[in-house]
Each structure stands twice: as C-alpha cells, then as structure tokens.
Amino acid sequence: MTIKELLEDMPCKVTGPVDTPVTGIVYDSRMVKPGCVFVCLVGSKTDSHVYAAQAAEGGAAAVVTQHDIAPVSCTEIRVEDTRKALALLSAAWFGHPAEKLKVIGVTGTKGKTTSTYMIHSILEAAGITTGIIGTIGTVIGSQLIKTNNTTPESYDIQKFMRMMVDAGCRACVLEASSIGLRDHRVDGFTFDIGLFTNFSEDHIGGLEHKDMAEYMACKAMLFQKCRLGVINIDDENWKGITAGHTCELTSYGFGSEAKLHAENPELVSQPGYLGIAFDLCGSMQGRVRIDISGKFNVYNALGAVAVCQQFGVALDNVRKGLDTVKVKGRVEPVEVPGGYTLLIDYAHNAVSMENILTTLREYHPNRLICMFGAGGNRPKLRRYEMGEVSGKLADLSVITADNSRYEDVMDILADIEVGLKKTTGKYIVVPDRKQAIKYCIDNAQKGDVVVLAGKGHEDYQEIKGVKYPFDERDVIHDILQEEGKLPAEY
Ligand SMILES: CC(=O)N[C@H]1[C@@H](OP(=O)(O)OP(=O)(O)OC[C@H]2O[C@@H](n3ccc(=O)[nH]c3=O)[C@H](O)[C@@H]2O)O[C@H](CO)[C@@H](O)[C@@H]1O[C@H](C)C(=O)N[C@@H](C)C(=O)N[C@H](CCC(=O)O)C(=O)O
Ligand SMILES: Nc1ncnc2c1ncn2[C@@H]1O[C@H](COP(=O)(O)OP(=O)(O)OP(=O)(O)O)[C@@H](O)[C@H]1O
C-alpha cells in the first residue's frame, strides 16, 4: 500500500511524495521502522511532534502532524486532529476489519465489562464466535492479550479486529470508555450496536473529564457512531446520553414501557453459588438464571439479551449463555471447602463497594466479611469513604494492602481507619495481603460471604514502581494447599 492509497478519503494536506510504499503505522517514535508512517500525538506528558524529525531520519516514509513542525526529510501529512487520523489510517491499513464483523460497543459508568462478557457468552452459546476488547484485555478464542486501557488506542483496536476476522470471529464486543470515545480511539468505523448501561459520577478531574457534562457528552458520542442504540431507560440520564443520537433506539429496564423488561427477580443462594433468576418479558419471554450475584446484574443481563436479540439468538442459547457466564474478578466465586462463599471483586471505590456490599447483604449471609485496601498515590477521600462504607455494611472489615505504589501501606490503612472509626463496624488490620486472605479463610464460618475487594482481574501488586505477581486465585490455592484444605478436584 502506498501513502496515496492509505490516504484515500482522508481530509489532509500533503507535502512530499505520495507514491512511496508504506510498511506500517506507528504512534510511538521508539517503534519507528523504515517505510512506516509515524503519527504524532499530543499526549498528556509528551507532544510527539518533537520526534517527527528523528522519525524521518529513522526512515519513516511520512509523518502525520496537526501543528507546525520544522521541515522534515520525508512526506508530511497535515491533518486537523492526529488522533482521528490515526484511527482512519489504522482502519485502512488493516483493511477495515469492522466491516467484516458485527461490532457492539458498550458504554456506561458501571457494568461494561460484565455486559461484554454476558454478550460474549450468549453469542458463543449460539455458535457466533465473538472477540472481546476491554478492561480485562482482548479475548480472541482462548487467547487473552493484556492491554493498558479499557478502550485501547485506535491502532490496537483495528489490529485486534483484524486478528478477530482472521481467527473466524463474526462479532466483536468492545468496551467504549468515555475517554476512548473522546480521544477518537473508536473512530474509523460504525458500531452495529451501542449499549448504554448506566451513568453516575466517576472519572472527573486529573487527566480525565473536566466535569459531568463533558463526561456525559463523551458517552453520548457512541450513539452518534452506531446503527442501533440499546438503552437502559431506568437510568434517569438516558435522555442526556442519547441527546443528538443518529441511530435507532430500543430500550430495556424493569418497567413494562421498556421493549425488553424483567419481572420477578429472585436471589439464588447456595454455599459457593450466589446468583439471580428473573423473567424476561416483552420482546423475549422466559425465565433465566445468571450465575453472578447482584440485582444490578439483571440490568447487565437485560442489556446483553437485548443486544443478542439483534442476532436472532434463541431463548435456549440466552439461558445457556447467562447460566454459564464467568467474569474474571467481578463477584467471581472461588471454590473453597467449609460451606462459606468466597468472592473476588474489582470494587475499588466507595460507590462500587457500597453496591457490592448492599447486594451481598440481600443474600442474608451468616456474616458479610469484606477484605480490602486502597491504592497509594490516589485521593485520600476515597480511603475514608471506603472505610466508612465497609464499616457500615460489613460485619467484619479486614483492611490490607492494595497497590500501595509509592506510599507506606500503614499510612493508607490509617486513612481507611478514619472512615471505619466513624462507624461501629468491627475491623482488623492485616497489612500483608496474602496474610489477610489467609485470615479470612481461617476464620470464615459456614454461611459467611467473604469478599476480597479491589484487585478483581489484576494479577499483580504494585509497590514502589514494581509490579509483583499477585493473582488472588493463585494465592488462595497456595493457602489451601499449605493448609491441606485443597478440594480433591483442583
Ligand atoms: C491520559 C491518557 O488518556 N493517556 C493515554 C494516552 O497517553 P498519552 O497520550 O498521555 O501519552 P504521552 O506519554 O503523553 O505520549 C504521547 C504520545 O507520544 C508518544 N511518544 C512518547 C515518548 C517518546 O519517546 N516517543 C513518542 O512517540 C507516545 O507513544 C504517545 O503516542 O495514550 C496512551 C496510548 O493510547 C494511553 O495508554 C494512555 O492511557 C493512560 C494509561 C490512562 O491512564 N488513561 C486513562 C485516563 C484512560 O484512558 N482511561 C479510560 C477509561 C477507563 C475506565 O472506564 O475505567 C480507558 O479507556 O482506559
Ligand atoms: N449495572 C451495574 N450497576 C451498578 N453496579 C454495577 C453494575 N454492573 C457491575 N457493577 C459493579 O461495578 C463493578 C465493576 O463492574 P464492571 O467491571 O462490569 O463495570 P465497568 O463499567 O467495566 O467498570 P470499570 O470502568 O470500573 O472497569 C462490579 O464489580 C460491580 O460491583
């Protein structure tokens, strides 16, 4: 492919030769190879236009810029926005893979990861091979490729979609974060379906959104980039999210005014299994059961079913998909002996923790035990709030290390204690996370629900700039093995 072919349909001003063959697209100067097109991005730390000359000297066929640079020894492609250009160029480079897939984008403050896994599980049950791009990584068949962002850079999204097409996938379900939408990571293609889960305060400040209005406007972009919007109309913000939409809309929720709605939710509780069953009503009818705890999962399931209906999936496959779905680190049960339930969850702020603990309370456990910590080099307010929430809602809080980063773990725990002390909740401090898990396992009683909060799918602990291996599943396995309590089937 030549520069000219690559630029087809892209508004730009070109200075220099355009018949040069292109060997690849690169958005990091350290990855420049002879013949590549280097796209200069204005980032939060670096404006990589400063590397344009170096890229040209390194053999780049062209550099893509959005502001003036000193003349370079290769072709210069001038565009209005290089992030947008990166998306368009990457789509062209990988042969527009989205056109060969049904692409579903999921946006919302909570429930994106869970919903993508539910959609994946249902579609796969129906024989529709589906890839996932999201917080846990990119899933293509049995392969999990770890990524830094919930919504990766546009180049990577296009590359992953190409890999999915080559692997025989027919669909791709992607978490479209507000930052990803804002930063043009999902430009260059049209989503077949956009799913809205819910909207609440999050991601404000720092390098994220300046205020709630901007946050909402970014989420709303999905419904200007898709053909059909599937909307949770029980969330009062749905009208703001769909303002300016260019797609058709369909709805889900608990009320009968929603096209697909739920009735008769019933919590299902057995040792090691907390789920929920409910009736699907409206556009699909039948009782279904989800193998993940929490009433909010009825919403995630409704959204997922409404999406899968667009593929003509039958009720049996919906049932099968929902009854077998597993999401790593999202109220994920881990099998343990002793008649109690042990869960790993990603809740790492007060809102998520309140949601999860309130939900688990509804299962009427013997005791609800919450083990958690808080990230270092993050706002202290989060720690006070988490302490207060757990103190109010759990029968016992076990406070311990999370990703302490550059802070002393004891300082973080002291902040969490400030919140705990506002309540009458019992707590214990066990700074080492493995020891804290061991404490929970050793002290759990029949009928208890123990939630290990904070790390979810993460498999490391970040301390002073180093990521140490720490997968809670492995840690639990090691503790049970050391104590001779490992179930026979492990
Ligand atoms: C603030 C932010 O969004 N940063 C993202 C952004 O990095 P950046 O542009 O700020 O990076 P930078 O270091 O300033 O570099 C700018 C450019 O210079 C290039 N560079 C840099 C150095 C050099 O020597 N040569 C060079 O060419 C870099 O490759 C880059 O292209 O682009 C990177 C590549 O796409 C992202 O990985 C990175 O996400 C960081 C890790 C991040 O934390 N982002 C958060 C805010 C985020 O995106 N979150 C959302 C939502 C999550 C949720 O819903 O929970 C997400 O989708 O993940
Ligand atoms: N529909 C929902 N409503 C409220 N809370 C939810 C919902 N779905 C999940 N949660 C809670 O939020 C946590 C994160 O869920 P999930 O990872 O699916 O959402 P997400 O949108 O991908 O979140 P994040 O952006 O934090 O990764 C869950 O562990 C659960 O506690």
Domain with CATH 3.90.190.20 in the chain: 332-482
Atom of ligand 1 at shortest range from CA of 175: 57
Question: Distance from CA of residue 196 to its chain's centroid?
Answer: 14
Helix 154-166 / helix 82-93 crossing angle, nearest 10 deg: 20
**Which residue, judged by its Cα, is nearest atom 3 of ligand 2?**
296
Atom of ligand 2 at shortest range from CA of 346: 29
CA distance to 130, 302, 343, 383, per residue, from 118 (Å): 11, 10, 18, 31
- Region of 326 on the Ramachandran plot (φ > 0 left; ψ -120 to 50 alpha; else beta): beta
Alpha-carbon distance of 257 to 267, in angstroms, equals 24
Ligand 1 pocket check: which of 179, 221, 377, 378 to mutate, most ligand atoms within 8 Å of Cβ? 179
Among the CATH numbers 3.50.30.20, 3.40.50.300, 1.10.3720.10, 3.40.1190.10, which is that of 97-324? 3.40.1190.10
Atom of ligand 2 at shortest range from CA of 135: 27
CA distance to 366, 368, 423, 478, per residue, from 395 (Å): 9, 5, 11, 26
Residues 6+ apart with CB under 8 A from 142: none
Return the ligand number nearest the Cα of 299. Answer: 2
pLDDT attached to residue 211: 74
The CATH code belonging to domain 3-93 is 3.40.1390.10
Alpha-carbon distance of 186 to 194, in angstroms, equals 12
- Whether residue 150 is annotated as binding a ligand: the answer is yes
- The per-residue pLDDT string of the chain (490 residues; one tens digit each, 9 = 90 and over) reads 999 999 988 999 999 999 999 999 999 999 999 999 999 999 999 999 999 999 999 999 999 999 999 999 999 999 999 999 999 999 999 999 999 999 999 999 989 999 999 999 999 999 999 999 999 999 999 999 999 999 999 999 999 999 999 999 999 999 999 999 999 999 999 999 999 999 987 666 677 767 788 888 899 999 999 999 999 999 999 999 999 999 999 999 999 999 999 999 999 988 888 999 999 999 999 999 998 988 889 999 999 999 999 999 999 999 999 999 989 999 999 999 999 999 999 999 998 899 999 999 999 999 999 999 999 998 899 999 999 999 999 999 999 999 999 999 999 999 999 999 999 999 999 999 999 999 999 999 999 999 999 999 999 999 999 999 999 999 999 999 999 988 766 5
Q: How far is ligand 1, taken at its centre, from the CA of residue 89, in Å?
A: 19
Q: Is 232 in the pocket of ligand 2 (CB under 6 A)?
A: no
Amino acid at 436: A
ipTM surpasses 0.90? yes
Question: What H or E segment, with its residue span, contains residue 180?
Answer: helix 178-182
Nearest Cα to Cα of residue 78 among 19, 178, 10, 133: 10
Residues 6+ apart with CB under 8 A from 205: none
Q: Is 328 in the pocket of ligand 2 (CB under 6 A)?
A: no
Q: Is 180 in the pocket of ligand 1 (CB under 6 A)?
A: yes
**332-482 has CATH 3.40.50.150 classification:** no
- Whether residue 109 is annotated as binding a ligand: the answer is yes
Atom of ligand 2 at shortest range from CA of 108: 21
Question: What H or E segment, with its residue span, contains residue 14?
Answer: strand 13-15
Domain with CATH 3.40.1190.10 in the chain: 97-324
Query: What length does the chain have?
Result: 490
Domain with CATH 3.40.1390.10 in the chain: 3-93
pLDDT attached to residue 489: 62
Alpha-carbon distance of 205 to 193, in angstroms, equals 30
Alpha-carbon distance of 388 to 421, in angstroms, equals 8
Return the ligand number nearest the Cα of 303. Answer: 2
